[in-house]
């Protein structure tokens, strides 16, 4: 099949959203009527870990056929498509522990990936530079590279959001999606996916009234859409709180520098030379600027999925006030809880 026409459409959405961050995307549901989007989706995920794991109806992605595509399109046209609940399994983690993961059936996986492709065209061009999780050409390495440029940081705030993926508020997510998407059929489809529920390992059905189901290929980007609000909030906080071009000179460093210059300008003697060498050694151990300059402050931020780190160039007390402001924003705006006990504030030199 020739996918060029569809790829041009998707690229058009990407360019419009890149050019205008407030672009309103309309009539995107019709993209699901194009058979090629499912071919692209299948090729994107057919080699993923878990692609062959069967869902609640016993089907997996390795049973892909064009009949699936025709059936999905037919059901989407009259909005009769209803995703099945995920099947839950225990999966071993790298540390040897186990975690629960949901597995959709074959058709649902295919449609979820089609949704992810469309969402990526809309949101990826305007996601924050501070966000590194589940994004093309970004990783833990790009997050670390950003942190390594945080020169002069005094304190780190290691953010821990309690059960973030499980607590995403569906109503708030819908409101956020409608800021950029004016297509109620598309919103309703995502809502169906979020509320499909799951079967536990005892085959008991559970409703999902909140959260982005783990195991769904579109959940990571939906979580990024949700937490982009936090990224933008932190960007505004940094603009408001960052003050001063550079720190003032350290009085202790300046005093030692003056003593060295005075000794060097006088008549040289062995005693003076030894004194100069001693002062130079002391000067090397002293910061040249005032690390506690109240007129200089920096706040930096980075996020990977639901983990975030804030670098603060200011006092411990100020760092606590930043943490409390983040806690309030998460609770009031996103209905998420910052775990204060697990959200550590540590001195940069101890890390």
In a domain, 307, yes or no: yes
**Long-range contacts of residues 173-182, Cβ cutoff 8 Å, at least 24 apart:** 173/222, 173/225, 173/226, 176/225, 176/226, 176/229, 177/225, 180/17, 180/22, 180/23, 180/24, 180/25, 180/122, 180/123, 181/24, 181/25, 181/28, 181/122, 182/24, 182/25, 182/26
Whether residues 35 and 149 share a domain: the answer is: no
pLDDT (0 to 100) of residue 257: 81
Looking at residue 350, its pLDDT comes to 66
My answer on whether 120 and 265 are in the same domain is: no
Per-residue confidence (pLDDT) for residue 291, from 0 to 100: 63
- Tell me if 324 is assigned to some domain: yes
Are 69 and 187 contained in the same domain?
yes
Domain that holds residue 324: 129-166+224-247+291-350
- Same domain flag for 273 and 152: no
Q: Is residue 216 part of a domain?
A: no
Q: Is residue 214 part of a domain?
A: no
- The predicted pLDDT at position 269 comes to 72
The full DSSP string for 192-206 is HHHT--EE-TT--EE
Both 114 and 177 in one domain: the answer is yes
Residue 217 within a domain: no
**Same-domain pairing of 18 and 117:** yes
Are both 135 and 178 inside the same structural domain?
Answer: no
Q: What size, in residues, is the chain?
A: 351
Residue 331 falls within a domain, yes or no? Answer: yes
Assign 3-state DSSP to the chain and report helix, strand, coil percentages, each to 5.
50, 15, 35
Residues 188 and 267 in one domain: no
Last residue of a domain, which of 285, 307, 337? Answer: 285
Q: Which of 209, 236, 263 is the last residue of a domain?
A: 209
Residues 242 and 174 in one domain: no
What pLDDT, on the 0 to 100 scale, is given for residue 1? 63
Q: How many structural domains is the chain composed of?
A: 3
Same domain for 202 and 141, yes or no, is no
**Could you give the angle at which helices 170-178 and 184-194 cross, rounded to 10 degrees?**
160
Structural domain contains residue 306: yes
Is 74 inside any structural domain?
yes
Helix ranges (H only) for 66-211 are 66-77, 106-123, 140-147, 164-167, 170-178, 184-194
CATH assignment at residue 296 = 3.30.70.270
> Half-sphere exposure of residue 26, counting CA atoms within 13 Å on the CB side?
1
Scanning the structure block, which residue is given the tokens 């040897």? 96
What pLDDT does 279 receive? Answer: 83
The pLDDT tens digits along the chain (351 residues) read 678 999 999 999 999 999 999 999 999 999 999 999 999 999 999 998 888 889 999 999 999 999 999 999 999 999 999 999 999 887 777 777 777 788 999 999 999 999 999 999 999 999 999 999 999 999 999 999 999 999 889 999 999 999 999 999 999 999 999 999 999 999 999 999 999 999 988 889 999 999 998 889 999 999 999 999 999 999 999 999 998 878 767 777 788 787 888 888 877 677 778 888 888 887 888 777 666 677 779 999 999 999 999 999 999 999 999 999 999 999 999 999 999 999 999 998 765
- 179, 209, 239 — which closes off a domain? 209
Q: Enumerate long-range contacts of 199-207, CB under 8 Å, 24 or more apart.
A: 199/56, 199/85, 199/86, 199/87, 199/88, 200/88, 201/88, 201/89, 201/90, 205/85, 206/85
Asked if residue 77 and residue 57 are part of one domain, the reply reads yes
Query: Does one domain contain both 68 and 117?
Result: yes
């Amino acid at each position: 099949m020739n996918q060029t026409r569809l790829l041009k459409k998707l690229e058009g959405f990407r360019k419009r959203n890149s050019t205008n961050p407030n672009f309103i995307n309309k009539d995107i549901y019709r993209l699901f009527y194009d058979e090629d989007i499912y071919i692209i989706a299948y090729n994107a995920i057919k080699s993923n870990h878990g692609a062959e794991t069967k869902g609640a109806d016993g089907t997996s992605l390795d049973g892909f056929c064009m009949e699936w595509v025709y059936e999905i399109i037919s059901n989407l046209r009259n909005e009769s498509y209803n995703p099945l609940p995920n099947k839950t399994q225990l999966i071993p983690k790298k540390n040897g522990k186990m975690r629960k993961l949901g597995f959709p059936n074959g058709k649902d996986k295919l449609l979820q990936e089609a949704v992810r492709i469309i969402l990526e065209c809309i949101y990826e061009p305007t996601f924050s530079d501070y966000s590194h999780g589940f994004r093309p050409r970004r990783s833990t390495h790009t997050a670390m590279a950003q942190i390594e440029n945080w020169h002069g940081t005094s304190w780190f705030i290691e953010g821990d959001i309690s059960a973030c993926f499980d607590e995403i508020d569906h109503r708030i997510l819908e409101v956020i999606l409608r800021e950029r998407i004016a297509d109620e059929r598309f919103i309703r489809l995502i809502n169906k996916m979020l509320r499909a529920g799951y079967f536990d390992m005892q085959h008991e059905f559970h409703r999902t009234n909140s959260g982005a189901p783990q195991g769904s290929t579109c959940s990571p980007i939906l979580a990024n859409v949700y937490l982009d609000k936090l990224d933008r909030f932190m960007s505004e906080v940094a603009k408001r709180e960052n003050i001063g071009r550079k720190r003032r000179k350290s009085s202790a460093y300046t005093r030692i520098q003056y003593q060295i210059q005075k000794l060097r300008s006088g008549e040289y003697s062995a005693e003076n030379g030894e004194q100069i060498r001693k002062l130079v050694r002391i000067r090397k151990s002293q910061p040249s600027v005032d690390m506690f300059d109240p007129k200089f402050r920096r706040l930096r931020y980075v996020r990977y999925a639901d983990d975030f780190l804030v670098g603060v160039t200011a006092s411990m007390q100020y760092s606590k006030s930043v943490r409390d402001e983040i806690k309030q924003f998460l609770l009031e705006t996103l209905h998420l809880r910052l775990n204060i006990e697990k959200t550590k504030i540590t001195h940069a030199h101890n890390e």
